[in-house]
Structure 1
Amino acid sequence: MAETRLAFKAGRAFRRGSTNFVDPDPTKGAILIQNGEDGLLHFIWKNRSTNDAEEDLILFPGDATFAKVEQSAWGRTYVLKFSSSNQRHFFWMQDADPSRDEEFVGNVNRLLADPSIVPIWYSEGYNPNSQTAGPSTSSAPAAGSSQAGQHATPEELARIRSIVSTLGAGGSGGQSFQPTPEISLTDVLTPANLRPLFASRPELAQALFPHLPPDLPSPPTVETLERVVSSPQFRAAVRNLDMALRTGLLGGLVRTLGLPEEAGTGVESFLRALQDQARREEGEGGDRMDTD
C-alpha cells in the first residue's frame, strides 16, 4: 500500500508559450509525495475537486529539487526540476498562510534526497524569517513551500479521536481565489486544554493507554498522559494530522474511524464529526460545537 509522506495544497502553473512567463491555473490541487507500492518515490499532483491524480512522477533520490522561482512577482511560485533532464514542472502554493513556507519546502527537498527520512517540523512559535538559515537542504535557489502534512496512522487518529471526543464545546480559532484559513487542531489539543481534562477524568488514562507508545511505565497514570501531551513528539503528531486534514484528502482514512467522509475534508469538519459521534455514543443532547 502506498504511504503518503507529505501533502500540501498547491495548484499547477504553466509556461506561457515559448516565453519565460508562468501563469497559475486556479484549479484547486494538492501535491502528495508517496512511497509507492513499487518501492519508488512518487511526486503526485491531485485535483482536489475531482480527487483524480492528474500527474504522477517517479523520482529517484538526488535527481530532483523543489525550488522557489525567484523571478516570480507574487513570490510563491515553485519549480520541480531535474538534474538528469530539462524537465520543469511549475506549481503555486494555495494555502492562504505562507508563514511556514521554508519549513515545508525543506521537507520536500529532504524527501527528494532521501525518501526514508522523517519530515522535520519547527517548534511552535518558530519564525523562519528571523533565522539566518533555514533547514532546507536544496542546492537550488532558496526554497519555500506551502502548508504540508504527513498522513497520520489510524492509531494516531484513534488517539486524537479519544481525546477530542471528550473535550466538549471548544476550538479556536496571495491571490483572490486562495482558500480561507481554518481553525488549527494545534489550538485545540494543547497541554493547557488537556491537563484539566485528565484531572477531572482520570479514567482516560486507562482508555488511552493502549494507543500510547509501548515503552511507557505501567500501570497508566494521569501524570504519564500529561508528559505525553507535553512532548515534542505528540505536538508533531497533532501538527501532522492538522496539515493532512487541510489537504481535504483524508476521507477514506477517517471512514475507518466510523466517521463520514466529509470529516476528512478539513479540521473543523473533523472536530464537528468527532463531537457528533461522541454525543451519539454517549446519548448526550445539546447543540453542535461552535468554532470560529
Structure 2
Amino acid sequence: MAIKEQELIAARLREYCQKQGGQNKAANTLKGVSSATISKILSGSWETIAEGMWHNISKQIGLSSEGWTIVRTAVYEELTELLECAQADSQVMAIVGSAGCGKSATIRQYTTTHKEVVSITCSEYQNRTSWLSAVMEAMGLDPRGMSVAEKIGAVVRKLRQADKPLLILDEADKMSDQVLYFFISIYNELEDHCGVILSATQYLDKRLQKGLRTGRKGYEEVYSRIGRQCVQLSALSPEDIALVCVANGVTGDRRVRKISDEAQCDLRRVKRAVWREHQLAEDAQ
C-alpha cells in the first residue's frame, strides 16, 4: 500500500477516534482491531502493520467501500469545510455540484467521523410520512405509530437536545414540494441551533429560480433561509482523478490519462474504468 494511502487512513482514523471518544472506545467498535494497533498507526509506527490491517481499518471507518478507497479531492476538501462551518455555526446552506463529483461519498464520510450529524438520502418516491420516518430512523428513533405532527415534533426535540447538530439532506433536488416545506418548519424551529445542508446537483438551483419567477408557494421562504444562493462546488480536476486512480491501484501516466479523458469529471465513470483496468490486468496474467 502506498504511503499516501496510509497517511490518509491514519488521518481518518484519528478523526474516528475523536468521534468515538478515544482510542479504546474506537477499538471496541472496530472488528479485529486492537487499541495497540490504533496507537501504532496514530504514532506513525507502521512497520509492523500488515497491509490487510490497513484495508480492514479503512473499510470499517468508511474510507473504503468494497475495496474502493475514497480520496480527499479538492471537492472533498471543499465540501467538508462547508459542512464543518455549517455545523460549528448552525448555518443553513444549499450546496450544489455536478453528478459524480463525490458529494455523497464525502457526506457519508463526514457523518461517520463527526458527532451529532444526521444525514439522509432523499428520493422522488418519498412523501411527508416516509421522509420524516427516514429522518427519525437516521436519528435512532422509532417512527411507528406516529402521525406527521408527532414525527416532526420528535425530530425537532431530538435536534434541540444535541450540541451543535447538523442535518444533511443529500439529493435534495429530488424532494417533492410538500417535503421541501418541512425544511421551512425545521428552520423555523431550530434557527441558530442546528445546521442544515441541502446537497444536490445544479438542478436544485434551477428549480428554485423557476419557482421564484413563477411565484410558487414556499419557494421565496426556502430561498431566503438558504441565504438567497446555492453554493457551487468546484469541478473535479485531472489531478483529482489521477489521485483517485493511484489510490485505487491504477498507476502509469498513460493508463491514468486514459481514465481521466474518459471520466468526464465523473467519479462513477472513474470507478468503472479502474475496475476495468484491474480486470484486464487479471486476464493478462
Report the TM-score when normalising by structure 2: 0.27
Comparing both chains, which one has the higher relative contact order based on Cα–Cα distances under 8 Å and sequence gaps of 6 or more? 2
Report the TM-score when normalising by structure 1: 0.27
Greater helix share, structure number = 2
Greater strand share, structure number = 1
